[in-house]
């Protein structure tokens, strides 16, 4: 059976430690990059206000909303708004 | 105008000095006039890796304090005569360097050399900031390992905000990723971040991948930069790095594990 195991094991898609490392790094690096860029003072209040509006319609936790102001070089600034919804919240 | 290249990383022990020595010597072997500066004040080590530790008389801080001229402090390499080393001071504290006096020394060196390679100390303190401040290019040395990658990202932030180029609003420092101690076999087994993983996270152009190699320790034991070991995979990989810095297009190698033959597979070679 050892032979069978050998072939079966190869097929399985395992979560490797390397992919875990990558995932953790992507999160922490993104987080640290955000705190590095000086964000305008109104962002926290804006976040609160948008959350309040969202909550009129759907139930969303605090961490479901992220807002970033990115300078794309030159005069171009992009306000990026990311709202994560869970499946059961969308149906409402 | 000399190209000022800082070899930096944030984290210690990832191969900054090994890389500075190999790349500096490689550039000189290609006919360029090169000086490598050790910015690690108090923890001088470039001299050992270059094999010139017995010839250090004056150092970087002596030059800054006017106790020696630049020519007195520079150590000419015995192997390649277009290469010199400016050793770090072993005794003075790190505050000996400041932007003004380092700038003056770099300006003077810039008239004498084509390349100035700055071997940065680890960390993000004054010494590391001084090494990167005047850089035109940065070689961000990174191991495929979580803490090294995170620290490299931190350093990328510093390059973009704390350098002279950032302060004056000039073109940003040209960033290069140098991945060291890479083990293709462990990557294939899912135990190590791959080149693509690290590129994804740091999103800067790849300059080179140096495989984990026994040649590196042998080279430092002997005080002969590993690029001189032309038979070794690490030596060849550094040669590719030098060629790329000089604008050549070179394919990446040593990215895949050696395939075991059928016999060693059967008999456990």
B83 with B28: CB under 8 angstroms?
A: yes
Greater confidence (A76 vs B7) lies with B7
> Which residue on chain A is closest to B201 by alpha carbon?
A26
The span from the CA of B72 to the CA of B248, in Å, is: 35
Percent share of chain B, pLDDT over 90 = 88
B255 with B184: CB under 8 angstroms?
A: yes
Annotate chain A with DSSP letters as a single string: -HHHHHHHHHHS----HHHHHHHHHHHHHHHHHHHHSPPPTTHHHHHHHHHHHHHHHS---GGGEEEEEEE-STT-EEEEEEE---HHHHH-
For residue range B67-126, list pLDDT tens digits in order.
999 999 999 999 999 999 999 998 766 678 889 999 999 999 999 999 999 999 999 988
Contact B193 A21 (CB under 8 A): yes
Is residue A10 scored above 60 in pLDDT? no
Residue B19 has a CB neighbour count (10 Å cut-off) of 28
Lowest mean pLDDT among A5-9, A84-88, B201-205: A5-9
For chain B, say whether A35 makes contact (Cβ under 8 Å): no
Cβ contacts of A36-40, under 8 Å, gap ≥ 24 = A36/B157, A36/B161, A37/A70, A37/A71, A39/A68, A39/A69, A40/A69
The span from the CA of B180 to the CA of B211, in Å, is: 6
Task: Using alpha carbons only, give the angle B109, B156, B235 rounded to the nearest 5 degrees.
Answer: 65
Q: Which of A16, A19, A28 sits opposite B150 (nearest CB)?
A: A28
| Contacts B161 to A, Cβ<8 Å | 36
Contact B153 A33 (CB under 8 A): yes
Q: Which of B150, B187, B202 sits opposite A18 (nearest CB)?
A: B187
Cα distance from B227 to chain A (closest Cα, Å)?
30
Lowest mean pLDDT among A8-12, B79-83, B97-101, B200-204: A8-12
Residue B39 has a CB neighbour count (10 Å cut-off) of 26
Is residue B262 scored above 80 in pLDDT? no
Is residue A67 scored above 70 in pLDDT? yes
For residue range B38-52, list pLDDT tens digits in order.
999 989 999 999 999
Cα distance from B9 to chain A (closest Cα, Å)?
15
> Which residue on chain A is closest to B147 by alpha carbon?
A25
Lowest mean pLDDT among A86-90, B55-59, B96-100: A86-90
Annotate B230-257 with DSSP letters as a single string: TTSHHHHHHHHHHHHHTT------S-SP
Task: Using alpha carbons only, give the angle A23, A24, A28 rounded to the nearest 5 degrees.
Answer: 120
Six-digit token pair at B64?
Answer: 């800054």
ipTM exceeding cut-off 0.90 for this assembly = no
**Which of B89, B60, B72, B29 minimizes the C-alpha distance to B228?**
B29
pTM: 0.81
């Amino acid at each position: 059976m050892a032979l069978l195991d050998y072939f079966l094991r190869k097929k399985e898609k395992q979560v490797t430690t390397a992919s875990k490392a990558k995932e953790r790094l992507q999160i922490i690096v993104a987080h640290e990059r955000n705190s590095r860029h000086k964000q305008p003072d109104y962002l926290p209040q804006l976040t609160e206000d948008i959350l309040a509006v969202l909550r009129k319609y759907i139930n969303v936790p605090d961490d479901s909303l992220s807002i970033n102001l990115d300078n794309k070089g030159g005069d171009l600034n992009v306000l990026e708004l990311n709202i994560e919804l869970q499946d059961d919240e969308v149906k409402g | 105008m000399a190209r000022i290249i800082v070899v930096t990383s944030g984290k210690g022990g990832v191969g900054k000095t090994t890389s500075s020595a190999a790349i500096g010597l490689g550039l000189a072997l290609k006919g360029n006039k090169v000086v490598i500066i050790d910015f690690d004040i108090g923890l001088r080590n470039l001299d050992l890796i270059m094999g010139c530790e017995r010839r250090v008389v004056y150092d970087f801080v002596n030059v800054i304090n006017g106790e020696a001229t630049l020519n007195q402090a520079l150590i000419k390499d015995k192997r390649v005569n277009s290469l010199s080393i400016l050793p770090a001071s072993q005794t003075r504290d790190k505050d000996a360097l400041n932007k003004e006096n380092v700038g003056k020394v770099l300006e003077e060196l810039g008239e004498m050399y084509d390349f100035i390679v700055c071997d940065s100390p680890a960390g993000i303190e004054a010494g590391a900031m001084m090494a990167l401040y005047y850089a035109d290019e940065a070689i961000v040395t990174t191991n495929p390992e979580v803490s090294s990658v995170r620290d490299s990202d931190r350093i990328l932030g510093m390059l973009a905000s704390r350098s002279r180029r950032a302060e004056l609003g000039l073109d940003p420092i040209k960033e290069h990723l140098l991945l060291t101690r890479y083990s293709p076999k462990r990557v294939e087994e899912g135990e190590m971040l791959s080149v693509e993983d690290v590129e994804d996270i740091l999103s800067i152009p790849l300059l080179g991948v140096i495989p984990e190699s026994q040649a590196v320790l042998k080279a430092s034991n002997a005080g002969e930069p590993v690029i001189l070991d032309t038979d070794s995979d690490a030596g060849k990989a550094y040669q590719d790095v030098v060629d790329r810095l000089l604008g050549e297009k070179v394919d990446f190698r040593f990215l895949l594990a050696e395939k075991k033959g059928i016999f060693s597979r059967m008999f456990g070679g």
